[in-house]
Amino acid sequence: MPRVVRCSIIQASNAVAATEPLATQKKAMIEKHLGLIRKAAGDGAQIVCLQEIFNGPYFCAEQSTKWYETTEPVPDGPTVKLMQQLAKELRIAMVVPIYEVEQEGIFYNTAAVLQNDGTYLGKYRKTHIPHVAPGFWEKFYFRPGNLGYPVFDLGFARIGIYICYDRHFPEGARCLGLNGAEIVFNPSATVAGLSEYLWKLEQPAHAAANGYFIAAINRVGTEAPWNIGEFYGSSYFANPRGQIVAQASRDKDEVLTADLNLDEIAEVRRTWQFFRDRRPDMYGPLVAS
């Protein structure tokens, strides 16, 4: 029997104005996502991944210390605890991206990984942190990740996480493949403009170069008061050949669900022997300081 895994990725617009009290914003986004997660479970999803920092707006469009108040410990904060209960109730594995506090003054852009019985399996911290116009001031908020490129064994699939800006760097994508990832989830927040054409280029290329599935998630809408651009959705799944096999809309809240046949990984890797033909003995200059 083929190893088919049904996955859902969720893209959503901001629920309330970013001028509302922080607690109101977080509550509204969590409540919005609870319904979307339940829809994914109703569609038969075994794994559900949410968008980058799902429980609020993309606040990195400004530099303000008030957003430090939205951080939570992982896994002991209220949002991850709530999602653990939901994962157990719905029997779904989950990827939950939030703003993490390790200790006061040390913050990360993090995704928690939950087993389908609610067990916390671990986390990935965003490795590459941008600080670029028109409003991606992430170095003000996040320390670079320090956990490497872990792969999480769900029993029925091995998954890895890459977050947003990470997708521009092929090195970590290769590490995830070498570490055994079969599906790589990339929760993102990216707007139309300079990098949009890369959205359908880079991640399918990672999938093809490493022979695994990619699930790419982007939020939707324009977020005031910053209005740095349109978050253009277009979340998708790409197969190990780098082909986009399912794609969401550009401008609507959506649960995108697809069946991924993990047997395709072996088929593709036996055709394209990229891992066999690697030359790590020649790559030293890539990591020389």
Active site (catalytic) residues: 52, 126, 164
| C-alpha angle 289-168-136 in degrees, rounded to nearest 5 | 100
**3 state SS for 101-163:** EEECCEEEEEEEEECCCCCEEEEEECCCCCEECCCEEHHHCCCCCCCCCCEEECCCCEEEECC
| C-alpha angle 165-245-84 in degrees, rounded to nearest 5 | 60
Return the bridge partners of 187, or none.
Answer: 217
- The first and second tokens of residue 237, run together, are 């799944």
| Nearest residue to 255 (alpha-carbon basis) of 34, 14, 79, 18 | 34
Return the bridge partners of 114, or none.
Answer: 94, 120
Kindly calculate the radius of gyration of the chain based on its CA atoms and give it in whole angstroms: 18
